[in-house]
C-alpha cells in the first residue's frame, strides 16, 4: 500500500530544536521569560500591531479579549455560523448569546450584510473569522463598527500571512487572536497570541492573563481582579521564535501548495478553491475544494474516496448552529450548504509534488466518474 498522506503536520528544523533546548537548559530564574518576551516583541513587529501577549491558546486569547470588553450576560456577539467551536466557546463561557449569521459563498467568511441585519441594542461585538486563510471584507466590517460603535474582533487563528490591502490579518480590529496549534502554519505545539493597538485594552488583558495581577502592583502575589491563567511557556515561545524567523518561508510554501492544487484542478468543472482578490494575499493555511451542487459530489463521497486512496480528508467546518448545544436554527443557506460538498486538502510544508499529484488525481478521478455517471443518467432519461 502507498504511504498515507496526512492533512497537516508542522515544519520543524534544527533551529526550533536548538531554541527549545536552550530554553529548557537556561530559561529559568531571571531568564524565565527571555524567549516569551522576544516572541511577543517580534510577533507584534511582524504583524504591525502595538501590543502582543503570548497565550496558551487562541481560545484563551479570545476569552480574555471578550472579558476585557466587559461582555457578559444579556449581551450578544455576532459571528459567522461557519466556524470552529473554539470561537463561540468563550462567548458562552462569559454568559453572552452568540448570534450566528451566514457567510459569503465565495470567501466562506462572515457576510457584512448579514451582520448589519442582525445588529440589535444588545450587540456588543462582531467577530470576523478569516477562514482557512481567506479574508473577511474588513473594509465593510470596520465601517459597520465605526458607524455603530460596536468593536470588530479578528479571529485570525488560521490567517497568519494573509494580508488585506496592505494590513495583516489580525492587526485591524479592536483586537486579534492567533493560533499556534500543531496544525497551523506557525506552531508552538499549543499556543496563541492576543494582539491590539489599544493600550488600555492591552493592560486589561495583561492583568487578566496573570491571575488578575496588574503589572504596576507593588504587593507581591496580590491580585487586583479575578483573572485567568492563559500564559504561554518559555519553551513554547522558543519554538515560536524559531518559527517566526522562518515565517516568510512557511507562508510561501503554503501558498505554493495552494497554487499547485489550483493548477492541477483548474480544468475541473464546478469546483472553487480559496480565493485571492486584488489587493489581498491569502495565507493559504488550508487549501479547500468546494464543489457546485450540480456536480452531485458530496463530502461523504470525498471522504470515502480519500480513505480508499490512503489520504487524510478533513471535513469543512459544520455550521455551529447545527450543534446540539445551540437551539437557534437560523436559515444560513451557505453555512449549511457548503460543508456538504467541500473538503480540506492535505497541505503540510514538506509535501512533495508527487504527493500533491496523488491528492489532485484522486479528486479528479472521483469527479470524472461522477460527471460520467450524471451524463449517463441524463442520456437514459
Cβ atoms 176, 169 nearer than 8 A? yes
Q: Which residues contact 15 (CB under 8 A, 6 or more apart)?
A: 242, 245, 246
Q: Which residue has the cell 480528508?
A: 313
Pairing of strands 167-168, 163-164: antiparallel
Give dist(CA 371, CA 261) in Å, integer.
20
| Residue 231: active-site member | no
H or E element that contains 263: helix 247-265
Active-site hit among 44, 122, 146, 184? 184
Q: Which residues contact 327 (CB under 8 A, 6 or more apart)?
A: none
Give dist(CA 39, CA 45) in Å, integer.
10
Cβ atoms 6, 312 nearer than 8 A? yes
Give dist(CA 161, CA 39) in Å, integer.
16
Pairing of strands 97-101, 163-164: unpaired
List residues with catalytic annotation: 184
Amino acid at each position: 500500500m502507498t504511504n498515507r498522506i496526512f492533512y497537516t503536520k508542522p515544519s520543524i528544523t534544527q533551529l526550533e530544536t536548538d531554541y527549545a533546548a536552550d530554553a529548557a537548559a537556561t530559561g529559568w530564574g531571571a531568564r524565565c521569560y527571555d524567549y516569551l518576551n522576544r516572541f511577543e516583541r517580534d510577533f507584534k513587529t511582524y504583524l504591525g500591531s502595538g501590543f502582543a501577549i503570548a497565550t496558551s491558546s487562541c481560545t484563551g486569547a479570545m476569552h480574555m479579549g471578550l472579558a476585557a470588553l466587559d461582555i457578559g450576560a444579556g449581551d450578544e456577539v455576532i459571528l459567522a455560523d461557519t466556524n470552529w467551536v473554539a470561537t463561540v466557546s468563550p462567548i458562552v463561557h462569559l454568559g453572552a448569546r452568540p448570534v450566528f449569521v451566514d457567510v459569503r459563498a465565495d470567501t466562506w467568511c462572515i457576510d457584512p450584510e448579514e451582520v448589519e441585519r442582525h445588529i440589535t441594542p444588545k450587540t456588543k461585538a462582531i467577530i470576523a473569522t478569516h477562514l482557512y486563510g481567506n479574508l473577511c471584507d474588513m473594509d465593510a466590517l470596520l465601517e459597520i463598527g465605526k458607524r455603530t460603535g460596536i468593536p470588530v474582533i479578528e479571529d485570525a487563528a488560521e490567517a497568519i500571512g494573509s494580508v488585506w490591502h496592505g494590513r495583516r490579518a489580525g492587526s485591524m480590529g479592536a483586537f486579534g487572536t492567533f493560533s499556534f496549534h500543531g496544525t497551523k502554519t506557525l506552531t508552538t505545539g499549543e499556543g496563541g497570541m492576543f494582539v491590539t493597538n489599544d493600550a488600555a485594552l492591552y493592560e486589561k488583558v495583561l492583568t487578566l492573563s496573570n491571575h488578575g495581577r496588574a503589572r504596576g502592583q507593588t504587593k507581591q502575589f496580590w491580585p487586583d481582579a479575578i483573572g485567568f491563567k492563559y500564559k504561554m511557556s518559555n519553551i513554547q515561545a522558543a519554538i515560536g521564535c524559531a518559527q517566526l524567523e522562518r515565517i516568510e518561508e512557511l507562508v510561501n510554501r503554503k501558498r505554493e501548495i495552494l497554487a499547485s492544487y489550483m493548477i492541477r484542478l483548474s480544468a475541473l468543472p464546478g469546483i472553487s478553491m480559496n480565493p485571492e482578490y486584488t489587493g489581498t494575499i491569502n495565507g493559504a493555511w488550508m487549501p479547500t475544494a468546494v464543489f457546485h451542487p450540480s456536480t452531485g459530489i458530496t463530502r461523504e463521497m470525498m471522504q470515502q474516496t480519500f480513505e480508499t486512496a490512503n489520504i487524510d480528508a478533513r471535513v469543512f467546518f459544520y455550521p455551529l448552529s447545527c450543534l446540539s448545544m445551540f437551539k437557534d436554527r437560523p436559515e444560513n443557506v451557505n453555512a449549511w450548504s457548503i460543508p456538504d460538498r467541500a473538503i480540506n486538502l492535505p497541505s503540510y510544508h514538506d509535501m512533495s509534488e508527487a504527493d500533491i499529484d496523488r491528492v489532485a488525481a484522486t479528486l479528479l478521478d472521483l469527479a470524472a466518474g461522477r460527471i460520467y455517471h450524471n451524463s449517463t443518467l441524463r442520456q437514459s432519461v
